[in-house]
Amino acid sequence: MVAEDDMRDQLARDMAGDTLILGVGATGASVARHLARQGREAVFADTRADADTRAVLEALPGSATHLGDLSGVDLEGVGCIVASPGVAPHEPFLKRAEAAGVPVVSDIDLFCDAARAPIVAVTGSNGKSTVVSLVAALCEHAGVAAAAGGNLGTPALDLIDGPVPAFYVLELSSFQLQRTSSLDAYCASVLNVTPDHLDWHGDFEAYAAAKYRIYARCEYAVVNADAPPPRGLIDDRATMLSVTAGQPGLRQFGLRGRGADTMFAFGDRDLMPVSECALAGRHNHVNALAALAIGSAMDLPMSAMLDGLRVFSGLPHRHQCVARRRDVDWIDDSKATNSASALASVGAVAGPLVLLAGGRGKGEDLAAFAQALPRHVTACVVYGENREGLADRLRDAGLSCTVTETLNEAVAIAATLAGPGDTVLLAPAAASQDQFADYRARGRAFAAAVEGLDA
């Protein structure tokens, strides 16, 4: 508690000066609303000259705003900068603030200072949105009030405006964690760490280090036993629970058996047949295990959690079947924005499939991705900004590959390549911002294009 109190005191000292909110998107707007509730003011800045300031100015009317070139923004009197997650650490304005000794904090620091309920925090390269949503659903089945948000759905600070729950359940990105010093979660979990956002963090080591910050001073730590965190990272006083995709050991959640006989298990106790879980795919079954481990740390009754697994069918744009046309399944996994998530999505399909991939690259090793694709990928259609480089790597790996420019064109080509019993899978292994606002817009465009095939 001493360390936590010291950090809160330091945050209060930093906030005594003027607060500058860097980024006027969803996170910046939530910070503005939070400060407005406290009767505080702020200055806004954004590197985008055309940034939409309506939401932040609605919360704090008349505030000064600086858009585009920030080189002339005066830092004199600024007590701290609350930086939105999307603002990279190498942004010149942040470098100038660092040189001037101005502290840079995250919205999560402000949230932790204001939260009056225990925090359950989840991160990972893949699966974190599913796990956070599933934990919230398990809480509902158990009759436990939980408020879920963060990087998923409702910004964390907007949760403070509602009733105080039994738990806050937060999805946290590596961007948020890199800048957060005061999380002190009741329960923390890193689901997995595979290369992602290397353009933002600089290298994999920095990215992984940001993820593992979630465990600092947590009370319960849920870890991936198949890829455990570095030794000494978790406080000895934390209670450990672990998850494995294989047969569980002592105090482990895992999968026992094979095929139709596979069971969710804890230690030597079988919990429920995997076949009864509403979530499909082995990767989602491991997500379900993580949710059970987190729920156990929250003291949720096991029977209620298992009932929740029987009805929670997942989130949009995450391995979601959007159509069946001429005996071909069309699956939207637009959220598969990196190689590891795309490979997991491909692995969840049993039969022959046509893969749609491409978009804005994230600095990953495309050759390694191509070599890892299983042989039941019968054809690839690549589109988007990184299409040529991705196509070269896929062909080097011996895969049939067609190149086109847009997702709509890719869907039309895939329809000519897929036969009865096949699956067409959108698992881009890339960001969406070359052609779409986000992965949701990409997923909606995919579904619309598939629907248009019958027009």
**Is 95 one of the catalytic residues?**
no
State the virtual CA torsion across 259, 260, 265, 269 in degrees, nearest 10: -120
Which helix H or strand E contains 9, and what residues bound it? helix 2-15
For residue 420, give the amino acid letter. Answer: P
User: Contacts by 264-272 with C-beta closer than 8 Å and gap 24+?
Assistant: 264/288, 264/289, 264/292, 264/306, 264/309, 266/292, 266/296, 271/302, 271/306, 272/306, 272/309, 272/310
Q: Which entry of 34, 128, 201, 362 is annotated as an active-site residue? A: 128
Q: Which entry of 34, 126, 141, 197 is annotated as an active-site residue? A: 197
Left, alpha or beta for 377 (phi > 0: left; psi -120 to 50: alpha)?
beta
**Is 128 one of the catalytic residues?**
yes
Supply angle C-alpha 436, 199, 439, rounded to 5. 25
Closest by CA to 361, choosing from 126, 200, 204, is 200
Could you tell me if 391 and 416 are in contact, meaning their C-beta atoms sit under 8 angstroms apart? no
**Is 151 one of the catalytic residues?**
yes
For residue 432, give the amino acid letter. Answer: S
d(CA 200, CA 404): 28
DSSP 8-state assignment for residue 211: H
Q: Which entry of 34, 126, 141, 151 is annotated as an active-site residue? A: 151
Kind of pairing, strands 220-224 and 187-190? parallel
Left, alpha or beta for 53 (phi > 0: left; psi -120 to 50: alpha)?
alpha
For residue 69, give the amino acid letter. Answer: D
Active site residues: 128, 151, 197
